Amino acid sequence: MPPTSPAIEDYLKTVYAHTEWQPDPITPKVLADALGIAPSSVTEMVKKMAAAGLVSHVPYGAVRLTEAGLARALAVVRRHRLIETWLVREMGYAWHEVHDEAEVLEHAISDRLLEAIDARLGRPARDPHGDAIPAADGTLASEPWVLLGDAPQGHSGAVIRISDRDPAVLRLLHDLGIGPGTVLTVTDVSTETITVQAQGAARRLPAEAALAIWVAA
């Protein structure tokens, strides 16, 4: 019976989310910024979580999920994304409205209710933004992908996923009609922007946007 709490779940989720977009492990500072809390609080909590076997951490080093921590993190992410999907599909929320609500509900919903929601939604593999929803056993939908920002000229593939980190990027892509499923072809790459062919039109995207998009490899 490993110990847990809403606060610990938030740490786990944040550490995990970092690994989804970033290859190197998260540092305490980045973790503190992402959670909106003071670095000293992170030191303390990370120590507690390391003692509980959820993360590994050496002083002045980065924070990594252990196997147990990863399992927990996936469970939290599953909750979060299922709730978001449910809010959008059944409760009339727009995508950008769901985050705060899910943030709270993910700590409040029982396994029983989560299962009922999952069943109602038909056990979706991805949420409305293309983020993979871990299954109850921790397995994840995964297709080969590349960051649009890393794709070579000529590369073509459907959008799999869009980061919801930056609302401005979200709005831009929404306005351009680019969402999960949209097929993009990279026509030109420069330092600042990347140009793609999308639904017959050429679109110039800033680097921030290109780094927020996964396309099929």
Q: Does 44 bind DNA (CB under 7 A)?
A: yes
* Shortest distance in whole angstroms from residue 37 CB to DNA: 3
Query: Cβ closer to DNA: 11 or 214?
Result: 11
Report the largest interatomic distance among the alpha carbons of the chain, rounded to a whole angstrom.
Answer: 55
Q: What are phi and psi of 118, to 5 degrees?
A: -55, -45
The distance of closest approach from Cβ of residue 35 to a second copy in the complex, given in angstroms and rounded to an integer, is 19
Residue 215, classed as helix, strand or coil, is strand
Binding to DNA by residue 120, rule CB under 7 A?
Answer: no
Least spacing, CB of residue 167 vs a second copy, in Å: 18
Asked if residue 110 binds a second copy (CB under 8 A), the reply is yes
The nearest distance, CB 22 to DNA, in angstroms, is 14
197 lies in the binding site for DNA (CB under 7 A): no
CB-CB contact of 160 with 131 (8 Å) = no
Closest distance between a second copy and the C-beta of residue 70, in Å? 25
48 binds DNA (CB under 7 A): yes
Q: Is 173 in the site for a second copy (CB under 8 A)?
A: no
Q: By C-beta, is 8 or 169 nearer to DNA?
A: 8
- Measured CA to CA, the distance from residue 46 to residue 68 in angstroms comes to 15
Please say which residue, 116 or 168, places its beta carbon nearer to a second copy.
116
Q: Is 26 exposed, middle or buried (0-12, 13-18, 19+ CB in 10 A)?
A: buried
Q: CB of 180 within 8 A of CB of 159? A: yes
Q: 2-5: long-range contacts (C-beta < 8 A, 24 or more apart)? A: 2/52, 2/53, 2/54, 2/68, 2/72, 3/52, 4/72
Look at residue 109 and give the partner it binds from DNA, a second copy, none, a contact being a CB closer than 5 to 8 Å depending on partner kind: a second copy
Of 27 and 156, the one with the shorter C-beta distance to DNA is 27
What end-to-end distance do the CA atoms of the chain give, in Å?
Answer: 41
Residues that bind a second copy (CB under 8 A): 87, 91-93, 97, 100-101, 104-105, 107-110, 112-113, 116-117, 120
